[in-house]
Structure 1
């Protein structure tokens, strides 16, 4: 009787087609092309520690394996998701054994290195320093934030890019010419659909092709069109990590599109994030923030529109409530812009944080008791409503020594242009009142 568990499992297409040399790699030519850093390292046979930073499915693990083969090094892979300090110790022992046995160098590859905590990352340092192994870490997150500085200072960071449409087409051409997909053919619309679904991820692209091949065999279909793909493929969310670097890049792009008065850009990034699984409530909060930071008093209705959109989403939920968020993003983008209030608040806050505790001027103090009145609290306070223009010209409202501060300077846009006119008029009244006092 045959042993069912002795058989080797069939490799997924992405694993079966993994490149084994730099020349087989599609993409990342800025790193592996002629005269580029990783190509030069291989040609010079000089391994060095590095961090490979890029989105999923762009070749980080593949490049690490190729480098190990090129340097004839022992390759020890670890996954930061599954491994702990015990696994790190075992890897160190293996590296020692390889060195003692035949003088062979070791490359220690840590996938998703950002998931190791600081103490786990620190465990590599003595062995990187001693040269026991060359460290290669792979991460989808910004190493500046996720890799501790000591390890980062000992490793060169290389940025890998998502594969372009043309590069994915090269990959498809290589697969079809090699007969991996049999006689299966794809029309142009189907190719474009697959590339769109892959979102620059070669592994996802190969998995989609594998799903397509399986479905085509089951249905006895020889030519694939976009309609067939729509029926048979299970599509995951686009490349997006709710807590990762791509998340903050995209919210930054949304904010800058609103600030730059580009409604199409604002809509694109908003819908990209919704499509990727971002919490609509988070996006609603960010829209409210944009209304106060970048529009402010140039158009006070913007804050109300953002708040109403947030309330609408709470009442309707997804997907209906997302329409309100979309229209709020459009309104914020086309509204008059001013950061005058934002700047004034930050300047005042910074000043107060470093300044001494100045007393409230006596004429502005509250005087609820007889003693306070006898001490002069509130004495000589001028009630603005009883003054011409409802303004006590020449009155001061800041502590002594701060009378000339003007943090808020409105911009000549939207409602703030009217505010600027009023402030100019009031300052003229102050100047006239002060002149009269000095006469």
Structure 2
């Protein structure tokens, strides 16, 4: 090889290296600095606030047009039995089985109102809707495609939006959106009744309860009370349970409300009463205030008998199994003396829970997991919910509103 040829090769090589350097500099330095986050482009376009019952679509309330967000960690990755589905604070969730009978969940982020979906056989998470609804406080799910979204506006009015999730067509590279109608302002409580909802409105002389269609077009009053604050649950179709908002030094009462007739029947009374009724209305799990503490018991409605349980927690930290006997609960490792449930509601006291299964008839119980040992995190369990096949337990950590699942099978 001649000296001239060697020189040409060296010059050519230097040129190629120089060109590659320019390409790398452009794509990995300059371009990355100019990229816009999915949410950044739309942070000033939040227009979520319209007159009652005005129909609004996703585009008019901050719909981003960026490509679909999929967080994919792979199908082959081992899925832990105790799984932190998301670090981001959520405002509620729903469990369902997808078209392939895979247990899945949908949840709403508090900060953005974006809806995400996660499957239990994969660590992949998909954003279903990127309609931006800032500062969501609560979501009441009717099913996986219908949800009641609640938030405070700039005047501290409680806004309630009855939404339908319109998914993007299969194969599209964009997210879906949320469409729906606004319902009455300042609803105090909202409960799903399936095709309808029940809600409370507070007045000067107490509170009133209404059954409404999801679009708010059909409304009927079924409840009137001089009291303003109630905790409401729906254990069975046709029946709501209403428990007076509890305080440690005040007697609270549990009533059953027939949503067809409006009849109310008193069932139980205790200081600091919190309740959870099973699906066949045979037993009420309840906690009551003691001096600096609380206790957990079951009230047998038919026989009018009370059984104190061997484990101690607040009823809000439990869920009934389909056999109407077993409960799954977050049981605190330790309980600090205080006024319960007041100081726990106020966030002055927090717990680190273990998860137990407990037979309310025999008292036998089983430790399912200790999050502190397994995940190295303290979890104060709220909103525990079982999947329809009872193979998974879902819950929120009250400390930071992160979302978790526990495989039970």
TM-score over 0.5 (shorter chain): no
TM-score interval, normalised by the smaller of the two chains: under 0.3
TM-score, normalization by structure 2: 0.22
Considering only CA atoms, is the larger Rg found in Structure 1 or Structure 2? 1
Considering fraction of residues, name the structure with more strand. 2
- The TM-score normalised by the length of structure 1 is 0.21
